[in-house]
Amino acid sequence: MNALDLAHKLRAAFGAVLAEPAEFRGEVTLKLTDPEAIGRICGFAKLELGFDFLLDITSIDNYGEDPRWTIVYHLYGLAHQAHLRIKTDVSEEKSELPTVSHVWRTANWHEREIYDLMGIRFRGHPDLRRIIMWEGYPYHPLRKDFPVTGKPSELPGVAFSKAAPIEGGPFVTVPGGKDAMAREPRVRTPED
């Protein structure tokens, strides 16, 4: 059974909350219209359809649009070797959806990373805390409205940061150049 057949079975089981499967270049995607159903959908995909491996959960910031975020679940079945992608949207006002860490334990770290870097919460997560930035860091640095140079912060006894200068470093590329080695980003001296 291929991924498209499995996607049709999943849609048949849940009906209107899932859009028709879309196939592009051999990859199958299902769009979930009700983010609250993600736990039930993923549980069925694992137990009934054999998607026993959660490859990744990613988040996309659609800054300036509503809903602001798209959460993408990348599933794989070891037995049937089929990939399936499930997408759902989350609004900025809500910025929360149910956890799937009870379906796949590896979702624990993926959800923590999304929470840490994008600020999206996962209701029911067993340990939702930062995984990369330090506790108490007031920002979510992968959001598109976060400046490239960073934001200064002062947390006495924990950490501090200053905005990084954009001009001149730390790694600079040279446009054009005679070959790939000359264009490689690296620290440059004035004579480079």
Q: ∠ CA(111), CA(99), CA(55), 5° rounding?
A: 55
Residue 87 belongs to some domain of the structure: yes
Residue 75 placed within a domain: yes
Is the pLDDT at 149 greater than 60? The verdict is yes
Q: Which pTM was predicted?
A: 0.82
Q: What angle do CA 76, 82, 85 make, to 5 degrees?
A: 60
Q: How many CA atoms lie within 13 A of 168 on its CB side?
A: 3
Q: How many Å apart are CA 132 and CA 59, to the nearest integer?
A: 16
Rounded mean pLDDT of 84-89? 98
CB atoms within 10 A of CB 163: 12
* In the predicted structure, residue 117 carries a pLDDT above the cut 90: yes
Distance between start and end Cα atoms, the chain: 57
How far is 88 from 36, CA to CA, in rounded Å? 10
Q: Is residue 85 part of a domain?
A: yes
| pLDDT over threshold 90, residue 188 | no
Q: Cα separation of 147 and 141, whole Å?
A: 8
Q: Are 61 and 143 in contact (CB under 8 A)?
A: yes
pLDDT digit string, tens, across residues 39-64: 999 999 999 999 999 999 999 999 99
pLDDT, position 171: 57
Q: Is residue 156 part of a domain?
A: no
How many domains would you assign to the chain? 1
Instruction: Confirm whether 58 is domain-assigned.
Output: yes
Comparing CA positions, the residue from 80, 78, 96 lying closest to residue 88 is 96
Range of the domain at 34: 3-148
Query: CA 37 to CA 74: how far, in whole Å?
Result: 16
The CATH number covering residue 91 comes to 3.30.460.80
Distance of CA 153 to the CA centre of its chain: 25
Structural domain includes residue 159: no
With respect to residue 165, please indicate whether it lies within any of the assigned structural domains. Answer: no
CB count within 10 Å of CB 108 equals 19
Kindly give, in sequence order, each residue whose CB lies less than 8 Å from that of residue 133, ignoring residues fewer than 6 positions away.
116, 117, 139, 141
Q: Does 168 map to a domain?
A: no
